[in-house]
Amino acid sequence: MTECIFCEIVAGRAPASFVYTADLTVAFMDIRPITPGHTLVVPRRHAVTMREVDAASWTAVWDVVKRLQAALYETPGVRCEGINLFVADTPVAGQEVPHFHVHLLPRFRGDEFGLRFPPGYGTIAERAALDQQAQNIQAVLRS
Protein backbone atom coordinates (compact mmCIF):
# COMPACT_ATOMS: atom_id res chain seq x y z
CA MET A 1 0.00 0.00 0.00
CA THR A 2 1.18 3.51 -0.79
CA GLU A 3 0.09 6.46 1.33
CA CYS A 4 -1.99 7.87 -1.51
CA ILE A 5 -5.57 6.64 -1.92
CA PHE A 6 -5.77 7.86 -5.51
CA CYS A 7 -2.59 5.96 -6.41
CA GLU A 8 -4.23 2.89 -4.86
CA ILE A 9 -7.33 3.44 -7.00
CA VAL A 10 -5.25 4.02 -10.14
CA ALA A 11 -3.33 0.80 -9.44
CA GLY A 12 -6.57 -1.15 -8.92
CA ARG A 13 -5.77 -1.92 -5.28
CA ALA A 14 -8.64 0.19 -3.94
CA PRO A 15 -12.16 0.19 -5.33
CA ALA A 16 -13.62 2.97 -7.43
CA SER A 17 -16.44 3.45 -9.89
CA PHE A 18 -14.61 4.35 -13.08
CA VAL A 19 -16.16 6.32 -15.87
CA TYR A 20 -12.99 6.55 -17.97
CA THR A 21 -9.56 4.97 -18.07
CA ALA A 22 -6.67 5.77 -20.41
CA ASP A 23 -2.88 5.70 -20.44
CA LEU A 24 -2.28 8.93 -18.56
CA THR A 25 -5.50 9.60 -16.73
CA VAL A 26 -8.59 8.07 -15.15
CA ALA A 27 -11.94 9.41 -14.03
CA PHE A 28 -14.13 7.97 -11.30
CA MET A 29 -17.08 8.92 -9.12
CA ASP A 30 -16.38 10.92 -5.96
CA ILE A 31 -17.11 8.70 -2.94
CA ARG A 32 -18.88 11.60 -1.15
CA PRO A 33 -20.77 13.29 -3.98
CA ILE A 34 -21.83 16.88 -3.43
CA THR A 35 -24.44 16.33 -6.15
CA PRO A 36 -25.20 13.15 -8.13
CA GLY A 37 -22.66 12.71 -10.92
CA HIS A 38 -19.80 14.37 -9.01
CA THR A 39 -16.75 13.02 -10.85
CA LEU A 40 -12.99 13.28 -10.34
CA VAL A 41 -10.38 13.31 -13.11
CA VAL A 42 -6.99 12.15 -11.92
CA PRO A 43 -3.61 11.72 -13.62
CA ARG A 44 -2.20 8.23 -13.18
CA ARG A 45 1.21 9.59 -12.28
CA HIS A 46 1.35 10.78 -8.68
CA ALA A 47 1.66 14.56 -8.37
CA VAL A 48 0.44 16.48 -5.35
CA THR A 49 0.02 20.00 -6.71
CA MET A 50 -0.58 21.51 -10.14
CA ARG A 51 3.06 22.56 -10.31
CA GLU A 52 4.12 18.92 -10.13
CA VAL A 53 1.87 17.62 -12.90
CA ASP A 54 3.85 16.85 -16.06
CA ALA A 55 2.74 18.48 -19.30
CA ALA A 56 1.41 15.32 -20.96
CA SER A 57 -0.69 14.36 -17.93
CA TRP A 58 -1.98 17.92 -17.67
CA THR A 59 -3.16 17.90 -21.27
CA ALA A 60 -4.71 14.45 -20.87
CA VAL A 61 -6.60 15.45 -17.70
CA TRP A 62 -8.11 18.58 -19.23
CA ASP A 63 -9.02 16.75 -22.41
CA VAL A 64 -10.99 14.26 -20.33
CA VAL A 65 -12.60 17.11 -18.40
CA LYS A 66 -13.82 18.54 -21.70
CA ARG A 67 -15.32 15.23 -22.78
CA LEU A 68 -16.84 14.45 -19.40
CA GLN A 69 -18.54 17.79 -18.96
CA ALA A 70 -20.42 17.22 -22.20
CA ALA A 71 -21.36 13.71 -21.09
CA LEU A 72 -22.69 14.86 -17.72
CA TYR A 73 -25.21 17.16 -19.39
CA GLU A 74 -26.59 14.12 -21.21
CA THR A 75 -26.39 11.47 -18.48
CA PRO A 76 -29.69 9.97 -17.27
CA GLY A 77 -30.12 10.39 -13.54
CA VAL A 78 -27.67 13.26 -13.36
CA ARG A 79 -29.46 16.55 -12.91
CA CYS A 80 -27.00 18.72 -14.74
CA GLU A 81 -28.18 22.23 -15.51
CA GLY A 82 -24.67 23.60 -15.08
CA ILE A 83 -21.23 22.48 -13.94
CA ASN A 84 -18.54 23.77 -11.63
CA LEU A 85 -14.96 22.69 -12.17
CA PHE A 86 -12.94 22.75 -9.01
CA VAL A 87 -9.29 22.18 -8.13
CA ALA A 88 -8.05 22.44 -4.57
CA ASP A 89 -4.32 23.11 -4.86
CA THR A 90 -2.69 22.59 -1.46
CA PRO A 91 -4.53 22.28 1.88
CA VAL A 92 -5.02 26.02 2.30
CA ALA A 93 -7.19 25.84 -0.82
CA GLY A 94 -9.06 22.84 0.56
CA GLN A 95 -7.01 19.96 -0.84
CA GLU A 96 -7.66 16.84 1.20
CA VAL A 97 -6.31 14.13 -1.09
CA PRO A 98 -2.66 14.89 -1.93
CA HIS A 99 -2.87 13.71 -5.55
CA PHE A 100 -3.89 16.34 -8.10
CA HIS A 101 -7.47 15.99 -9.34
CA VAL A 102 -10.20 18.01 -11.02
CA HIS A 103 -13.75 17.90 -9.67
CA LEU A 104 -16.65 18.01 -12.12
CA LEU A 105 -19.65 19.05 -10.11
CA PRO A 106 -23.07 18.96 -11.76
CA ARG A 107 -25.22 21.87 -10.61
CA PHE A 108 -28.95 22.41 -10.64
CA ARG A 109 -31.27 25.07 -9.37
CA GLY A 110 -31.86 24.50 -5.66
CA ASP A 111 -28.93 22.13 -5.09
CA GLU A 112 -27.94 24.24 -2.07
CA PHE A 113 -24.22 24.08 -2.87
CA GLY A 114 -22.45 27.42 -2.85
CA LEU A 115 -19.20 29.27 -2.47
CA ARG A 116 -18.69 31.51 0.52
CA PHE A 117 -17.13 34.88 -0.27
CA PRO A 118 -15.09 36.87 2.25
CA PRO A 119 -16.56 39.93 3.99
CA GLY A 120 -16.17 42.98 1.80
CA TYR A 121 -16.29 41.01 -1.43
CA GLY A 122 -17.81 42.97 -4.28
CA THR A 123 -15.71 46.11 -4.04
CA ILE A 124 -14.28 47.09 -7.43
CA ALA A 125 -10.50 47.26 -7.04
CA GLU A 126 -8.41 50.32 -7.90
CA ARG A 127 -7.19 50.14 -11.51
CA ALA A 128 -3.67 51.03 -10.42
CA ALA A 129 -3.59 48.10 -8.02
CA LEU A 130 -4.89 45.71 -10.68
CA ASP A 131 -2.34 47.01 -13.21
CA GLN A 132 0.44 46.54 -10.68
CA GLN A 133 -0.61 42.98 -9.94
CA ALA A 134 -0.87 42.20 -13.64
CA GLN A 135 2.64 43.54 -14.19
CA ASN A 136 4.02 41.55 -11.30
CA ILE A 137 2.50 38.32 -12.62
CA GLN A 138 3.72 39.11 -16.15
CA ALA A 139 7.24 39.53 -14.82
CA VAL A 140 7.11 36.09 -13.21
CA LEU A 141 5.69 34.57 -16.41
CA ARG A 142 8.54 36.05 -18.44
CA SER A 143 11.27 34.96 -16.03
Chain residues binding ligand 5GP by CB under 6 A are 5, 16, 28-32, 88, 94-97
Instruction: Report if residue 28 touches Zn ion, rule: CB under 5 A.
Output: no
Instruction: Report if residue 7 touches Zn ion, rule: CB under 5 A.
Output: yes
Q: Which helix (H) or strand (E) holds 104?
A: strand 102-107
Sheet holding 25-29, edge to edge: 18-21, 25-29, 39-43, 102-107, 82-86
Residue from 6, 16, 72, 100 in contact with Zn ion (CB under 5 A): 6
Instruction: Report if residue 4 touches Zn ion, rule: CB under 5 A.
Output: yes
Q: Give the CA radius of gyration of the chain.
A: 18
| Angle ∠(11,12,16) on CA atoms, nearest 5 | 120
**Shortest CB 130 distance to ligand 5GP, Å:** 29
Please choose which of ligand 5GP, Zn ion, none residue 64 contacts, taking the beta carbon within 5 to 8 angstroms, the exact cut-off set by kind. Answer: none
User: Quick one: which segment of 41-49, 59-67, 86-94, 114-122 binds Zn ion (CB under 5 A)?
Assistant: 41-49
Residue from 20, 24, 30, 46 in contact with Zn ion (CB under 5 A): 46
Q: How many CB atoms lie within 10 A of CB 91?
A: 9
